[in-house]
Amino acid sequence: MASVKTGATPLLRRLSSFFYRHPRVKLSLLLAPGLALLLGVYGGSLGALLLQSLYRLEEFTGLVVREPGFQSIGQLGERANLDIIVRTTVMAAAVTVGCAAIAFPLAYYMAKLASPRMRSLLYVLVLMPLWSSYLVRVISWKLILAKDGIFTWFVDRLGLGGALDFVLGAPVIGGPSISQSLFGMWIVFVYTWLPFMILPLEASLERVPDSLTEASEDLGGRPRATFRRVILPLALPGLIAGSIFTFSLTLGDFIIPTIIGNSTFFIGPVVLLQQGTAGNLPLAAAFSLVPIVIMTTYLLLAKRAGAFEAL
Amino acid sequence: MARRRLGLKISAGAVILFLYFPLAIIFLYAFTTQSSAFTFPPPGLTTRWIGVAAGNPQIWAALRLSLTVASVTTAIALVLGSLLAAAVYRTKFFGREAISFLVILPIALPGIVTGIALRSSIALLDVPFSMWTIVLGHATFTVVIVYNNVLARFRRLQGSLIEASMDLGASGWQTFRHILLPSLSTALLAGGLLAFALSFDEIIVTTFTAGQQETLPIWIFSSLFRPRARPVTNVVALAVVAVTALPILFAARLTRESGAPIAAGAPRGR
């Protein structure tokens, strides 16, 4: 290693020996800026969110009354709002199931069959959409599912027009076209959060010992039995970790329900609408407490099921 | 067994295709001749939308704002993230565990919660919307990326190197400048690149902290509701893909060579 020059200015040298003698001062200086942002700005904002949810909108004047109370939070219990909460939660659950089903083959292939080179290539390929181009990936579905778009073209070529009409004709999930149906919204959600399920699932499958699956096969377990009774239980921590992402992301998204789907409401768009055009920031704040409560419960349940210890 | 292997291989390939197919579609429809519909196959191809996009001052303004926000955010995340990592590494203090929790909170909670929380305090304190309100929002969830990358590097860094430097009479500053900084450089670069990409691409939190300002993702989103010249949106979308994908590829390379997992700071995404 090249010799280190001792040409530091006296001030710098004095400063560094001061910090060396006073580790507490050094520590506080290291922590201060980060804590100012995370505790001050972010923590403070979470406090402000809680406070806002206790305010209420005066209906006649359209002004926010800054007196603490539970009126806005109480509004969540109204029929229409409760429907929104239930609908969003069911969608999040359905998306989680869809993601798990599609993620599994790729995760399994990466963990067990791919060569190391192939695995790292696939890893980057899955990682790219996880980190970037979220909005772009969502809006492309508007093109794919558009009227006379590529989706319909494929469905027609495959002769599945009847099946599509059947889905669209179904109550609740159907609609006038695929991009205006809850089924379409489900597809886009599953697509968008897929990488968040693949990676934790892959990590947990990697830890399933080959000897166990082999033992199961040697003992006469059919592939289905091996999958259900050996692989799936051992991959459960990864599935739960992935589901935390897919669930939480679906609960809090407003881009996808705004672009795809009919005009039925989900939590995300309602929060956006209430804080914006409706000018009812307290109700928007109250609504956003719902994902927090659901996710906290979910995390506690997952913890109780031992999902974190196995991770 | 061999058949099952082949079946898995094919379905794995299908999932990868599924992940990337929509990006190919955006590419295709950036060149369609139709201005307000997306029939398949496109009736014809043209490059005129690139010119239309380039001639739109709103797009340039949005691009400028997005680049500024992403650069300032990255700078803040680099400084705050590595300071926090340095504090947590090697020093034991009361509340150290709480710091890891605090750092991860902005990406663990749904983006809309972060957004509406910041919006609430903006409303309570009557802060005017500006580039800085956007930057503050982005900084909260990008600090964790630099923090995780740098902390992972710190943990693999041999303490003896620092001790040797001190023993040889180097001051704290010299040790920092000649030992610590070079060893951290790729972790800082990777963290910075990821933070930049994440900030450039962000829309959920930004929607709540931007007021009337338009970043590039917000421009794209609002352009979806304008009926005309739709392919221009796709041209801009491709530009966003390029600006965010390249830093991430580069960061993935950097972290793979150094062994630290890039997913160390896996974002909630949004």
pLDDT tens-digit series, residues A47-81: 999 998 999 888 777 788 888 888 888 888 898 99
pLDDT in the model for residue A306: 62
Name every chain A residue with its beta carbon within 8 A of the beta carbon of B86: 30
**Chain A interface test: which of B5, B9, B15 (most A C-beta within 10 Å):** B15
pLDDT in the model for residue A182: 92
Question: Which range of residues forms the domain containing residue B174?
Answer: 68-265
**Chain A touched by B38 (CB under 8 Å):** yes
Does some domain include residue B176?
A: yes
pLDDT in the model for residue B195: 92
A130-185 pLDDT, tens per residue?
Answer: 887 888 999 899 889 887 788 888 888 888 888 888 888 888 888 888 888 899 99
Contact (CB<8Å) A284/B111: no
Class of domain A78-310: mainly alpha
**Integer Cα distance of A128 and A195 in angstroms:** 9
Q: How far is B125 from chain A (nearest CA, A)?
A: 10
The mean per-residue pLDDT over the stretch A206-227 comes to 84
ipTM: 0.84
Does some domain include residue B170?
A: yes
Q: How far is A80 from chain B (nearest CA, A)?
A: 21
By three-state DSSP, how is residue A65 classified?
strand
Q: Which two tokens stand for residue B224?
A: 């979806």
Nearest CA to B257 out of B191, B187, B198 is that of B187
Does some domain include residue B24?
A: no
pLDDT in the model for residue B257: 57
The CATH code of the domain that includes B200 is: 1.10.3720.10
**Integer Cα distance of A200 and A195 in angstroms:** 9
Does some domain include residue B54?
A: no
Of A43, A193, A284, the CB nearest to B116: A284
Q: How far is A245 from chain B (nearest CA, A)?
A: 7
Does some domain include residue B73?
A: yes
What residues does B45 pair with on adjacent strands? B32
Show the low-confidence residues of chain B (pLDDT under 70): 1, 256-270
Confidence grade of residue A225 (pLDDT, cut at 50, 70, 90): confident
Q: Which two tokens stand for residue A143?
A: 């093109």
pLDDT in the model for residue A109: 94
Name every chain A residue with its beta carbon within 8 A of the beta carbon of B198: 131-132
Does some domain include residue B12?
A: no
Name every chain B residue with its beta carbon within 8 A of the beta carbon of A117: none
Q: Is the pLDDT of residue A19 over 60?
A: yes
CB B230 within 8 A of CB B38: yes
Of B84, B105, B201, the CB nearest to A135: B201
**Chain A touched by B20 (CB under 8 Å):** yes
Q: How far is A133 from chain B (nearest CA, A)?
A: 6
Nearest CA in chain B to A124: B252
pLDDT in the model for residue B264: 39
Our count of domains for chain B comes to 1
**Chain B interface test: which of A52, A106, A136 (most B C-beta within 10 Å):** A136
pLDDT in the model for residue B260: 44
Of B29, B171, B267, the CB nearest to A17: B171
Q: Which helix (H) or strand (E) holds A56?
A: strand A56-58
Name every chain A residue with its beta carbon within 8 A of the beta carbon of B201: 132-135
By three-state DSSP, how is residue A63 classified?
strand
**Integer Cα distance of A55 and B53 in angstroms:** 44
Does some domain include residue B211?
A: yes
Q: Which of residues 56-75 of A touch B (CB under 8 A)?
A: none
Nearest CA to A248 out of A67, A99, A45, A61 is that of A99
pLDDT in the model for residue A84: 94
A103-114 pLDDT, tens per residue?
Answer: 999 999 999 898
**Chain A touched by B103 (CB under 8 Å):** yes
pLDDT in the model for residue B208: 92
Q: In chain A, which ranges are continuous DSSP H helix?
A: 10-21, 23-35, 44-54, 71-75, 79-108, 116-131, 134-144, 150-157, 161-169, 182-206, 210-218, 223-226, 232-252, 255-259, 267-275, 281-304, 307-310
pLDDT in the model for residue A300: 84
Does some domain include residue B61?
A: no
